[in-house]
Structure 1
Amino acid sequence: MLKIVRVGVVGVVLPVGFLGAGWGGAALSVGAGWVVVPTVLVTVVVGVVALRGILTMFVGGVREGSDVEGLVWVSGFLMFLAVVFGGVLGVPGWVAMSGSQLTRCEVVSVDDGAVVDGGDGVYTVYRHVVACPGGYPTTYEVDERYVDTVELLVDPERETSPEYLRGDAFSAALGAWVALPAAGLLLLISLGRAIYWFRTSGPSSREPAPRS
C-alpha cells in the first residue's frame, strides 16, 4: 500500500501541486501583488520535493544511477519552462482576457501612420477611427492597416484598452504553447518514473547495506 502511495505522490500529487502553486499564485497575484513572494517560495519548495521524489521515490538507502539523475535534470528544466511561461506570461494573459469580448467594428477612417521606435525595431502605427457596438472604442492604434472592418478584443468595463488586450492575447498564446506542453511532459516523466519504480522495485531488487 505504501508503494502505491509513493507512486501517486511522486507521479501526480507533487507535479500537479507544483503547477497549481505556480499558476494559481500567478492568477492571484494579478489582483494582489503581495502574493508573489509566498507563491515563489511555495513553488520552489514543492518543486524541490518533487525532484527529490523522482530521484529517490522517497526510499532511503537506494543508490540511483545516471539515468534517473538525467530525468531529474530534464524534469527541472520542464518545471522552469512551465512556471516561467505559464506563470509570468500565460496566466496573467488569460486572467486579463477572461472578461473580454470579441467585437467586430467598422473602420471609418485610417491615417497615414506614424513611425515608432519600439525598442525592438522601427515600425509604423496606424490610427483607426472605428464605429463599434455600444460606441466603444472609438479609435484603435495598431501596426497594421485595416479597411472596412476589424475584430477587436474589448473590455466591457472599459478598464483595459484593446491595444493592451491584444498584447495580453499574444502573451496568453505564447504561454500556452510553451507551458502546457512542458507541463504535460513533466507529468509524463514523473508518472512514468513512478510506475517503472513500482514495477521493478521489490525486496529482492534492493542492494544490501554496506557492511561496517
Structure 2
Amino acid sequence: MATLLPAFCAVALLAWSAWSFGGASAPSTTVAVSVGGAAVLAAAVAYYLLVDGVAGFWGALALVGALLLTVATADQWASRGAVADCVVVKVHEETHVSVGEGGGERTVYRHTLRCPGGYPSALAEDHRIAKDGGEVRVAYDPRRRVAPAVEGSSPPWGQAVFAVLLLAAATAGARRFSRAGRREREARSGPSGRPPSAGSRSARGSR
C-alpha cells in the first residue's frame, strides 16, 4: 500500500486540479484549494504513518513537493484551455527601472489585441511577439483567472520532470522502508533477526 500511495495521490490530485482549473463546471477557487490542500496533507500523514522512521519524514516531504508541483503543472496545462487567433493592433514599449542594489531596467511590450469575442484584449511579454497588424495565437482562460499567454510559450516540462523525480524518490523510500515490509522481513528472519541456518533447521527437524 505504501508503495502505491505516491502514484495514486499524484494521479488523483492531477485529475482534481485539471478539472478545477479547466473544467466547464469547475468548483469555486475556495473549494478547489481547500480540497486540494486537504488531499496533500492527508497524503503526507498517511505516508509518514506507513513508512518507518526518518525515511517516513523525508519521504513525506518529497511527496508533498511532488504533489504541489503536480498542481502547478496542471494549472499551466489546463487553466488556459481556450485558444484564439488575434491581430496585434499596436505594441507599446514600456521601460521599468528597479531601484536599489542590483536594480536595472526591464522592458515590457504591451500588445493591444483584436480577438474574436473581444477577449483577450491585451498581452504583456518581455519581447515583441509580432509587428503591428501581425497575427498571434493566444491561449487564455475563459473564466479570466489567469493572464493570457502566447500558445506554447511556457510549457511546464521542468515542473513535471521534477515532480516525477520526487515521486520516484518517495516511492523508492516506501518500497524500502515501509512498516508492512519490515514486519514481513522480521517474520522471515526469525526472532534473532537472522535467517535460521541449515544446521539448526535440520537439528530441529531431527528432534
Relative to the length of structure 1, the TM-score reads 0.59
Compute the displacement of 1:176 (Å).
1.9
Query: Structure 1 residues 151, 73: closer, same or farther in 2, change over 3 A?
Result: farther
- Which residue of 2 is the match for residue 63 of structure 1? none
Q: 1:115 to 1:207 in 2, by over 3 A?
A: farther
Is 1:190 matched up with 2:174? yes
TM-score in terms of structure 2 length: 0.60
Whichever residue aligns with residue 183 of structure 1, its letter is L
State the AA in 2 paired with 1:116.
H
Q: What stretches of structure 1 of length at least 5 have no aligned partner?
A: 1-8, 56-68
Q: Give the RMSD, CA atoms, in angstroms.
A: 4.2
The aligned amino acid for 1:144 is H
Superposed displacement of residue 96, structure 1: 0.3
Q: 1-side partners of 2:18 and 2:97: how far apart?
A: 32
Identify the residue that residue 74 of structure 1 maps to in structure 2. 58
Residue 43 of structure 2 aligns with which residue? 46
- 2:148 is aligned with what amino acid? L
Q: 2:76 aligned to 87, 93, 99, which one?
A: 93
Q: Is the 8 A contact 1:78 1:185 kept in 2?
A: yes
- Alpha-carbon displacement from aligned partner over 1:46-87 (angstroms, at most 9, x marks no partner): 3222222221xxxxxxxxxxxxx3432431231121122223
Superposed CA offset, 1:149-177 (max 9, x none): 564433384x439x813399748445324
Relative to structure 1, is the Cα distance of residues 201 and 156 closer, same or farther in structure 2, using a 3 angstrom cutoff? Answer: closer
The structure with more radius of gyration: 2
Tell me which of 77, 100, 124 is aligned to 1:141.
124
The 5 Å alignment of 1:1-212 reads 9-12=1-4, 14-20=5-11, 22-27=13-18, 30=21, 31-32=27-28, 33-55=30-52, 69-87=53-71, 89-97=72-80, 99-101=81-83, 103=85, 107=88, 109-111=90-92, 113-116=93-96, 122-130=105-113, 137=120, 139-148=122-131, 149=134, 151-155=136-140, 157=142, 159-160=143-144, 164-166=147-149, 170=154, 172-173=156-157, 175-193=159-177, 197=181, 201=185, 203-207=187-191
Q: Secondary structure at the match of 2:79?
A: helix
Runs of 5+ in structure 2 lacking a partner? 22-26, 193-207
Distance 2:150 2:175 in 1: 36
Q: How has the CA–CA distance of structure 1 residues 160 and 16 changed in structure 2, closer, same or farther, with 3 Å as cutoff?
A: same
Larger % of helix: which? 1
The percent of aligned pairs where both chains have the same amino acid is 17
CA distance in 1, matches of 2:46, 2:64: 15
| Letter paired with 2:96 | V
Aligned residues: 179
